[in-house]
C-alpha cells in the first residue's frame, strides 16, 4: 500500500469506528456506489434504470453523477441542468436548488461539465460543504452513486465511503480483467471485501453466470477471502439502444423488454440483501468524502 492510500485507509478506518451513532438522529440511507473497471459497459444506464426499478419498488432514490466533465445521467434522462455542483461549491445555491427532478420520483445531483476538482477544495470549502450536508435531512431511501470508470483516485474514494459496492461487467475479456483489477486494489489498499456483481449485455443467464465464474477465477489466486454476491444478468436487448436514443430510461420506455425485467429483479435482490458493512449513511458519506 502506497503512502497516499495508507492515509486514506487509516482515515476511513477511524471514521468507521466513530460512525456507529452518526445516523442516530435521522433515518439511515443506503449509499450504493456503482462502478466498473472500464468504460463502455453500460454502467450509467444501469444506474439510471436501477434507480427507476427502486422507484417502482416504492423507494425514494437520489442519484449522484460523479463522472466529472463526462456526466451521463442527465443526458440519458433528457435533462439539462441549470445549476450543478459548481454553484454549490461557490456558495451560490443550496443543495435543494441544484437537485434535478428525474424520471419517476427520482432526484439527480448533477456533476455536468463544470471544471471543478472535488479533491482540490480548500479546507475552508470542505468545512463549508460539510456544514451544508450535516444540516441536510433528505427524504431518500437510497443514495445511488454513478462513479467514473477505471481506478482513479475519485473512483476509489466513492467506493470506500459507500455502504455497498456494485461492479458492472460485460462478457468482454477486458471488462472482466479490469473489474478484477479494481476489486484487487480496493481489497489490497482499503480492505474492502464485499462486492455485488451485475453482468450486463449478456446473451442470457448461462453466459452471465459463466462471466461471473471467470471473474472469480481471476480473483481466487491473488486476493484471498472476498464476498462476491452475484446479482444476476441484464440481457443484451436492442430496446436499450432505442431507449438511449429517446433519452428515456429503459424501464419506463419499454417496461416489457427482457432487460427491464432483469433490472427489476436485480433491484429486488439488492433491497432484499442485508447490509454487511457498518459504515455508511448520507452524513458519513460526505464527512469521509470531503476528508475533514
In a domain, 145, yes or no: yes
Cell for 263? 433490472
In a domain, 24, yes or no: no
The pLDDT score that the predictor gives to residue 121 is 54
The pLDDT score that the predictor gives to residue 157 is 78
In a domain, 177, yes or no: yes
In a domain, 229, yes or no: yes
CA 14, CA 289: separation in Å to the nearest integer? 13
In a domain, 22, yes or no: no
In a domain, 224, yes or no: yes
**Best CA proximity match to 85, nearest among 69, 98, 74, 96:** 98
**DSSP notation for 29-78:** -EEEEEE-SSSSS-HHHHHHHHHHHHHHTT--EEEEE--TTS--HHHHTT
CA 229, CA 243: separation in Å to the nearest integer? 28
The pLDDT score that the predictor gives to residue 151 is 85
Residue 23 burial class via C-beta count within 10 angstroms: exposed 0-12, middle 13-18, buried 19 and up: middle
Domain with 226 in it: 3-9+31-290
CA 64, CA 98: separation in Å to the nearest integer? 11
The pLDDT score that the predictor gives to residue 214 is 96
Give the number of domains in the chain. Answer: 1
In a domain, 21, yes or no: no
Sequence-distant (6+) residues with CB within 8 A of 237 are 250, 257, 258, 259
The pLDDT score that the predictor gives to residue 76 is 74
- For the domain that residue 97 is a member of, what is the CATH number? 3.40.50.300
The pLDDT score that the predictor gives to residue 291 is 62
The pLDDT score that the predictor gives to residue 130 is 61
Cell for 114? 463544470
In a domain, 20, yes or no: no
Residues of the chain with pLDDT under 50: 3, 6-27, 115, 277-278
User: Cα Rg for the chain, rounded, in angstroms?
Assistant: 18
Cell for 170? 460485460
DSSP 274: P
Helix (H) / strand (E) containing 199: strand 194-202
Chain centroid, CA 177 distance in Å? 20
The pLDDT score that the predictor gives to residue 152 is 81
Amino acid at each position: 500500500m502506497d503512502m497516499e492510500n495508507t492515509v486514506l485507509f487509516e482515515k476511513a478506518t477511524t471514521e468507521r469506528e466513530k460512525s456507529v451513532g452518526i445516523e442516530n438522529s435521522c433515518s439511515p440511507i443506503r449509499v450504493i456506489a456503482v462502478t466498473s473497471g472500464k468504460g463502455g459497459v453500460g454502467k450509467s444506464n444501469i444506474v439510471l434504470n436501477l434507480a427507476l426499478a427502486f422507484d417502482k419498488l416504492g423507494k425514494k432514490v437520489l442519484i449522484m453523477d460523479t463522472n466529472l466533465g463526462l456526466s451521463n445521467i442527465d443526458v440519458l434522462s433528457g435533462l439539462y441542468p441549470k445549476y450543478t455542483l459548481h454553484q454549490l461549491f461557490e456558495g451560490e445555491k443550496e443543495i435543494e436548488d441544484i437537485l434535478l427532478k428525474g424520471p419517476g420520483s427520482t432526484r439527480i445531483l448533477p456533476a455536468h461539465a463544470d471544471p471543478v476538482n472535488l479533491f482540490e477544495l480548500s479546507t475552508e470549502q470542505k468545512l463549508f460543504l460539510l456544514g451544508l450536508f450535516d444540516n441536510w435531512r433528505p427524504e431518500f431511501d437510497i443514495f445511488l452513486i454513478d462513479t467514473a470508470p477505471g481506478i482513479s483516485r475519485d473512483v476509489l474514494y466513492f467506493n470506500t465511503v459507500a455502504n455497498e459496492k456494485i461492479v458492472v461487467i460485460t462478457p468482454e475479456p477486458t471488462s472482466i480483467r479490469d473489474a478484477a483489477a479494481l476489486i484487487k486494489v480496493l481489497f489490497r489498499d482499503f480492505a474492502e471485501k464485499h462486492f455485488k456483481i451485475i453482468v450486463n449485455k449478456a446473451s442470457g443467464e448461462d453466459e452471465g453466470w459463466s462471466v461471473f465464474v471467470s471473474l472469480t477465477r481471476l480473483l481466487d489466486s491473488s486476493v484471498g477471502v472476498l464476498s462476491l454476491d452475484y446479482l444476476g444478468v441484464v440481457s443484451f436487448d436492442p430496446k436499450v439502444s432505442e431507449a438511449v436514443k429517446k433519452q428515456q430510461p429503459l424501464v419506463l420506455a419499454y417496461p416489457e423488454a427482457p432487460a427491464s425485467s432483469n433490472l427489476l429483479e436485480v433491484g429486488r435482490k439488492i433491497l432484499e440483501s442485508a447490509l454487511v458493512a457498518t459504515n455508511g449513511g448520507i452524513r458519513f458519506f460526505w464527512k469521509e468524502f470531503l476528508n475533514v
